[in-house]
Amino acid sequence: MSGEEKLSDAGLWKGYFKTGITDLPPGKILIRGYPLEELMGNISFAEVLYLILKGELPSKEEGKLMEAVLFGIVDHGFLSSASPPARYVVSGNPDPIHGIVSGVLSIGHFTGSPRASGEMLKEAYQIMKSEKLSIGETAKRIITKFREKKKRIPGLGHPLYTIDPRAARLRELAERYGKLGEYVKLMEAIHDEFVKTRGKEIPINTDGMMAAVMAELGFDPLEMEALGVVSYLPGIIGHTIEELKTGQIVRIIPPVITQYTGPAERHLPKERIKED
């Protein structure tokens, strides 16, 4: 069979894409088997996100905690790495989609993503279980490893807060809804060990507590990163629309905050100048 015949053979392509998320029988939209119109008005947006990712509806307590998680990085003004690029882009290209996407593209390892914290907690949990360590012993192992590799410990520290109010509230809600488990305790133990060994009082930040709580809800680090984007979106959308409605055309970086560090003015040698 030629390549062209293979491409035209529908049987060979059956099941090329498979999904367990959405089915579209005639006249219906089924999300994990549930008719979409039944979900609308009966469960929250946070709960439908949980359903799509985990395949089953959350309990009422899990749904409440999931909703709280999505507040974790809803906006942080101009301290955020996402809002300024969104505003800069739409000041030059007044299209909200371009602004929103540019804001999303700024989210990553160092800002706005719980993934790094989630990966650290996943590794810590595996070490704790496989080596039968206590939570405190596991925390010491993690701190030692990061120190030896001279790597920043994710989920700790904030430029404004000695206690991150978002992380504190999320921890409170995790306890209220029965999800104050080993992942949250590991995050707290890693924080305590860092403070004790470094003598530096810094908080668990919202990324770290979001990761711990999402781990308690059964999410893996990839899912955490995606949910971090969802959490960030309201702020990115708000700043994008505000800039389009009330902002400047073509934003610039003010000279007062820039500094040139290259060579002073200089000129090409005469032998490099072309004569007409």
Domain ranges of the chain: 20-58, 59-252
Residue 23 φ then ψ, to 5°: -120, 140
Tell me how crowded residue 181 is: count the other CB atoms within 10 A of its CB. 14
Q: Judging by beta carbons within 10 Å of its beta carbon (0-12, 13-18, 19+), is residue 33 exposed, middle or buried?
A: exposed
Place of tokens 């003010």: 254
Q: By percentage, how much of the chain surpasses pLDDT 90?
A: 83
pLDDT value for 1: 54
Question: In this structure, which topology does domain 59-252 adopt according to CATH?
Answer: Cytochrome p450-Terp; domain 2 (1.10.230)
Q: Which of 53-67, 89-103, 156-170 has the lowest mean pLDDT?
A: 156-170
Calculate ∠ Cα 114-117-122, nearest 5°: 120
3 state SS of 110: coil
Q: Structure tokens of 217?
A: 């809800």
Q: pLDDT averaged over the chain?
A: 93
Q: Structure tokens of 59?
A: 């309990």
Per DSSP, the residues of 55-108 read SSPPPHHHHHHHHHHTTTTS--GGGSSSHHHHHHHHHHS--HHHHHHHHHHT-B
* Predicted structure pTM score: 0.90
3 state SS of 250: coil
pLDDT digits (tens, 9 = 90+) for 121-148: 999 999 999 999 999 999 999 999 999 9
